[in-house]
Amino acid sequence: MPGVFDRLNKEIENMQKEGGITPLDLAGLPPALRKIMRLMLRELQASYPRLCEIMDGMPEKDRLSREELRSALATLTEQFWLIRIGEDEKAIYKVNLRRREGSKLMAGIWSALDQKLKDKPKDE
């Protein structure tokens, strides 16, 4: 009978196999969300006050208002890019390095091509 340690070890191994986010994933984000994710990838973990401090230190054209920051953090959390621990001003945000569910489009394309090749008459 496997113990708790064995189960935790198996979960860690499974997470490592899943991989992480890629630059292509980031490129698909809107500019404000991409800006926060790039920042979070440097920090890996940051409290809300720390994020506000970093935003205040940015050039004015690159800054997000507090409302834009809150909204972007909420969106990134809902989409599982970030993990939020705590609430409101005491929240700590961490990058979710596990791979998000990918697109089903590629699998569909390859199956359609495979089917076309099987259906194609042989010209012999």
Domain ranges of the chain: 4-119
Q: pLDDT for 11-56, tens place per residue?
A: 555 544 444 566 677 888 888 999 999 899 898 899 999 999 999 9
**Looking up tokens 């940015």, which residue turns up?**
58
In CATH, what class is 4-119? Answer: mainly alpha
**Looking up tokens 């012999």, which residue turns up?**
124
Task: Confirm whether pTM is higher than 0.75.
Answer: no
State the average pLDDT over residues 83-92.
Answer: 88
Provide the pLDDT for residue 97. Answer: 75
Interior CA angle at 92 toward 86 and 97, to 5°?
115
DSSP string over 45-71: EEEHHHHHHHHHHS-GGG---HHHHHH
